[in-house]
Structure 1
Amino acid sequence: MLLTAAGQVGVHEGRENGHWNNVQRYSDEVPGLRWSQGQAWCATFVSWVALRAGCATLFPRTASCATGVAWFRERRRFREYPAVGAQVFYGPGGSEHTGVVERYDGTHIYTIEGNTNVNGSSEGDGVYRRVRERKSSRVYGYGYPDYPGGIDSADPSWPPPAPLPHPDGLEPFPGAEWFRTAPRSPVVTAMGRRLVAEGVAVYEEGPGPQWTDADRRSYANFQRKIGYRGGDADGWPGPVSWTKLRVPRT
């Protein structure tokens, strides 16, 4: 989903008589939404991305932001916390604008949005990456698609991602929120041993089964080793870095 959305960054709508005109490819390429050509197209863009990414049943197919909010609410998958791959809605009732959350941190969401511009307008000229404050009054909420592998959410009450089977003998990713509970598990020991093998560990003793700050600092070193920068190397395991660490099944 996110790769498909990212591939559209930089695409612009048409121009007519020196003005942007809301004419774009997405309305014509989503079955049932051709009628929306020439109108605000942020929700249509999300529908197009979902269709192209093979996630059409996980998102509302609509040109209306308000309809999108209602669709997620009906499925009890509308939350106030961001999540990776979620659909974010803006404005009163979520009716003004929408996009897809690429990632988040403690203060901001990083999104890909259609029909916006460099200023973050709800009526723009193309597909852009935007950075917005999580606590902004403009952010209404988030629709959580029911991804087969779960969703990485900032919501402490949201269930962690379901473990994915690994036929190659590797430990499935336990879920991002699992590590934030300071778990005590053989999985933590196995992870620590792999960090030692990668030459990034900072343990004075161990590694052991209890998740500690030394585990997090060691994991942050591993994230930097594989190319993460800045706040992305925060020491909290995610599914991509976990797969690259290749922790053996315990």
Structure 2
Amino acid sequence: MATNRLTPKSRNLAHVLLGASILVGAGTLAAPAALAEAPGQSPLSAPPAEVVKTAKSPLELQAERLPKVTAAKVLDIAASQIGVSENAQGGGTKFQSWYVSSPRAQETVARDGGNPQAYANASWCAMFVSWVGDQAGIRPTVGWDAYTVTYAQWFKNNGHWGTVAKPGAVVFYDWQGGKSIDGIDHVGFVKKDNGDGTISTIEGNTGNGKVEARVRPTSQVVGYGYPVYSG
């Protein structure tokens, strides 16, 4: 009976391929298949530049089927809503109404409990960001959720999470200055990095119950989610 055994060369190659795997959600996106060994070239040698390919993330693959939208366009849509305010019950916004009627409300209720109508008066910062992405036609790469923690985790699971403030990035805050996704309190859009330890943003459901432009200290930022933009 034949034995499946790695030779020293093939064992090294296996280690390289396993180390190059990319974590995506609960699974992995495997590295590209190994190239055939050319004469005089070890398996660990770099292949010619013209055959090196970069694996695309799930969000980048989604973006190929969506309209080409820039970060500036998304920020324009967000800015057009500045001044929109909630009612005395904390509801009454178009963002909440849209979310209640969306299929995502049913999905998040199944995950978190409650009923879809409860979102009509719930905190709506994440619903605002989701609505803007939908209006821009690129919701699959902006995401949609009503809960900031799972929203941030979605970006991280899809490999679009980081610590650099880019225009159009989705910014997640912890008012206590923590850096754990579990501690996230609020979310908005980055307009620009001011280069002085602050960022300019556009956010829904601010302390005034409105969509507003704000300047926030980066010390309160947990991280950034990166939608896929064209340019």
The Cα offsets for residues 56-105 of structure 1, whole Å up to 9 and x where unpaired, read as 11112100100111111011111111010000001142520000011112
The residue that corresponds to 2:191 in the other structure is 102
Distance 1:21 1:72 in 2: 27
Which of 156, 166, 189 lines up with 1:73 in the alignment?
Answer: 156
Q: What is aligned with 1:90?
A: 173
**Partner of 1:143 in structure 2?**
225
1:14 corresponds to: 87
Instruction: Report the secondary structure of 1:52's partner residue.
Output: helix
Q: Is the 8 A contact 1:22 1:125 kept in 2?
A: no
Aligned match of 1:24 in 93, 111, 129? Answer: 93
How many residues matched? 137
CA contact (8 A) 1:64 1:95 kept: no
Q: Deviations over 1:118-173 (max 9, x none)?
A: xxx3xx41100000122x2x211100112133xxxxxxxxxxxxxxxxxxxxxxxx
Which protein, 1 or 2, shows the higher relative CO under an 8 Å CA cutoff with sep ≥ 6? 2
Partner of 1:128: 212
Q: Which of 202, 206, 210 is 1:112 aligned to?
A: 202
| DSSP 3-state at the match of 1:68 | helix
1:220-239 map, 5 Å: none
Secondary structure of the 1:100 match is strand
Distance 2:95 2:217 in 1: 28
1:145 match: secondary structure: coil
**TM-fit CA distance, 1:48:** 0.5
Cα distance in structure 2, aligned partners of 1:103 and 1:38: 30
RMSD: 1.5
User: d(CA) in 2 for partners of 1:22 and 1:29?
Assistant: 12
For residues 38 and 60 of structure 1, what CA distance do their matches in structure 2 show?
Answer: 21
Query: What percent of counterpart residues are identical?
Result: 37
Matching residue of 2:78: 5
- In the alignment, the residues of structure 2 paired with residue 95 and residue 44 of structure 1 have an alpha-carbon distance, to the nearest angstrom, of 15
Identify unmatched segments of 5+ residues in structure 1. Answer: 150-250
Matches within 5 A, 1:193-208: none
Alpha-carbon distance in 1 for matches of 2:205, 2:221:
17
Is the 2:90–2:123 Cα contact (8 Å) retained in structure 1?
Answer: no
Q: TM-score, normalised by structure 2?
A: 0.56
Aligned match for 2:136, one of 53, 60, 63: 53
Structure with bigger helix share is: 2
Q: Summarize deviations over 1:174-229 as a string: whole Å, max 9, x none.
A: xxxxxxxxxxxxxxxxxxxxxxxxxxxxxxxxxxxxxxxxxxxxxxxxxxxxxxxx
Partner of 1:204: none
Amino acid in structure 2 at the alignment position of 1:100:
F
When the two structures are superposed, what TM-score results if normalisation uses the length of structure 1? 0.52
Answer whether contact 1:23 1:39 (CA < 8 A) is retained: no
